[in-house]
Amino acid sequence: MAKHSKKSTNLWSTPAAQVLRATDDTRVEEIDFSLTPGFDGTKADAQELLAERGQVLSALQEKLYANGRSGDLRSILLVLQGMDTAGKGGMVRHVIGLVDPQGVDLASFGVPTKEEREHHYLWRIRNELPGGGKIGVFDRSHYEDVLVVAVHDLVPRQVWEPRFDEINAFEKELVDEGTLVVKVALFVSPEEQRTRLQERLDRPDKYWKYNPGDVTERGFLPQYRLAYQRILDRTNTDYAPWHVIPADRKWYSRLAVTELLIDALERLDLDWPAADFDVEVEKQRLANS
Amino acid sequence: MAKHSKKSTNLWSTPAAQVLRATDDTRVEEIDFSLTPGFDGTKADAQELLAERGQVLSALQEKLYANGRSGDLRSILLVLQGMDTAGKGGMVRHVIGLVDPQGVDLASFGVPTKEEREHHYLWRIRNELPGGGKIGVFDRSHYEDVLVVAVHDLVPRQVWEPRFDEINAFEKELVDEGTLVVKVALFVSPEEQRTRLQERLDRPDKYWKYNPGDVTERGFLPQYRLAYQRILDRTNTDYAPWHVIPADRKWYSRLAVTELLIDALERLDLDWPAADFDVEVEKQRLANS
């Protein structure tokens, strides 16, 4: 259905959706985040390919949107997790920016507000689920409630521990209702993170992206890795699997997520919706108008 | 601040923000919607220029977003009005799609829902106003409440007539609170509208865009023009002026709206926000981390 150029087929030795999918054996601490698993091209290759594959993604997204407008309730939910500087914002700008903004439901989850704290942690998440035909994008997500809360002991273990099962049940419900869930964890190496934070301190046009808390969090890297490993161990389900993306090279991580979205859309196997009117009658009405 | 290439300066004999701005003398029925006011280039010129100016727009938008993140409450609100097939959806896709989706608050206003009908007509509008640092985009707007309701007598004249003053007061309030309001009315000729509807009936991948009601509405074109003229006469204020955009040529209308947005952002005259932390202290903290 989607065009596969010879080039794109050649540059991926293994499809992104396959090579990046977490398994029972995935160990976060053993992954080299500077690598580009499955992709044999250069940065220039990846950038050229991103533009080309962006058109494929955009065409598939329009078809999803068209079906949504015609009453199809299916949707995609991209869950983006990753530490500061891992490239979540750039992913939204450069990958989600490739498709029609009308077809995107974007939600960003920060420190819970007072109102949010008065509800179950999934309340704000449910409020932002994508409508039919949409690509929902979560910049952080319900996983913060088993991540930052565990790393910083914000709630006791007996509170966050049951959440893994709750999250699995929640995601099962989403999938059963027709939402294809694509979970992505972006990882950068401590060295690359330092470089990116340094850039934010060296360039006045990047100050706004800098938060002193980011340096504080660097002291908790081992705890974050542990917490992410726990997330993979507990929530990497068949119906909502995780993808672990080495993100030291932005050109790789962006291309990889583009491929994951194309793969998800292709799995929906969409056609253009049929006319819900009589085409010949309407042609005549238009001719007479 | 923004780059102006020699080319772009040359191709516009009069800036879009100037040539398209409605005046007291603007008469909708006298405008030739196939023209490209102020622009002397070809379709190919316009497409090339759109890509170039899109980068200018994107850079300015990032600065607006950065200021919003730093607490600046200013925003842009693009109000898109126009009949079916005038190109509102394409405007969102091809112009708003040029900037970071994270910086866009998009709202589409259709036939009011039951809940919306139980509130003042501005209730749903207020709920969708852009946050600080955002570009809000209204695909249809509060103007439907003096437009379609007047054309089809959905409410009596004594109900919609006072709304012009209410809308002016509402928009004054927005402007006073720091929202720069850019109002755009897109117009296509009846012939071009027929061509576009015909295409939706000829191509199965366009059926989803077709609505039999669109042909019905063609019978009300004179009433719509009258209603739009009334909107221009009553709500073309100094603080929230209208722009009337001939839209038979999509490449022109898209480029024109891009220029209006660039103009609006340049009028905000933004700098990058200052650091709200001690840069040297943070550099030291990072080095030690």
Give yes or no for residue A134 having a pLDDT over 50. Answer: yes
Q: Look at residue A1 and tell me if it is in a domain.
A: no
Contact B93 A106 (CB under 8 A): no
Residue B93 is predicted with a pLDDT of 96
Q: How many domains does chain A have?
A: 1
Q: Look at residue B281 and tell me if it is in a domain.
A: no
Q: Look at residue B30 and tell me if it is in a domain.
A: yes
Q: Look at residue B59 and tell me if it is in a domain.
A: yes
CB-closest option in B102, B272, B285 to A205 = B272
In terms of CA atoms, which chain B residue is nearest residue A93?
A: B100
Order the strands of the B104-108 sheet from edge to edge: B104-108, B135-139, B75-82, B179-187, B242-246
Q: Look at residue A58 and tell me if it is in a domain.
A: yes
Specify the long-range contacts of residues A24-27, CB closer than 8 Å, at least 24 apart.
A24/A236, A26/A232, A26/A236, A26/A242, A26/A244, A27/A229
Q: Which of B70, B140, B214, B286 to mutate to test the interface with A (most CBs of A within 10 A)?
A: B286
Quick one: DSSP state of residue A188? -
Quick one: DSSP state of residue A169? H
Question: Measured between CA atoms, how close is B193 to chain A, in angstroms?
Answer: 10
Domain boundaries, position B154: 6-271
* Predicted-complex ipTM score: 0.92
CB-closest option in B101, B215, B285 to A282 = B215
Number of Cβ atoms within 10 Å of the Cβ of B215: 22
Q: At B29, which CATH number?
A: 3.40.50.300
Contact B282 A108 (CB under 8 A): no
Residue B3 is predicted with a pLDDT of 46
Give yes or no for residue A16 having a pLDDT over 80. Answer: yes
| pLDDT tens, residue order, chain B (289 aa) | 444 455 555 899 999 999 999 999 999 999 999 999 999 999 999 999 999 999 999 999 999 999 999 999 999 999 999 988 999 999 999 999 999 999 999 999 999 999 999 999 999 999 999 999 999 999 999 999 999 999 999 999 999 999 999 999 999 999 999 999 999 999 999 999 999 999 999 999 999 999 999 999 999 999 999 999 999 999 999 999 999 999 999 999 999 999 999 999 999 999 999 999 999 999 999 999 9
Question: Measured between CA atoms, how close is A238 to chain B, in angstroms?
Answer: 30
Q: Look at residue B236 and tell me if it is in a domain.
A: yes
Q: For residues B100 and B58, is the Cβ–Cβ distance under 8 A?
A: yes
* DSSP SS3 for A198: helix
Question: Measured between CA atoms, how close is A24 to chain B, in angstroms?
Answer: 32
DSSP per position, B36-92: -TTB-S-HHHHHHHHHHHHHHHHHHHHHHHHHHHTT---EEEEEEEE-TTSSHHHHH
Give yes or no for residue A4 having a pLDDT over 70. Answer: no
pLDDT tens digits for A27-48? 999 999 999 999 999 999 999 9
- In B215-272, where do the E strands start and end? 242-246
Q: Look at residue B280 and tell me if it is in a domain.
A: no
Q: Look at residue B1 and tell me if it is in a domain.
A: no
- Which chain A residues touch B89 with a CB distance below 8 Å? 102
Residue A84 is predicted with a pLDDT of 86
Give yes or no for residue A3 having a pLDDT over 50. Answer: no
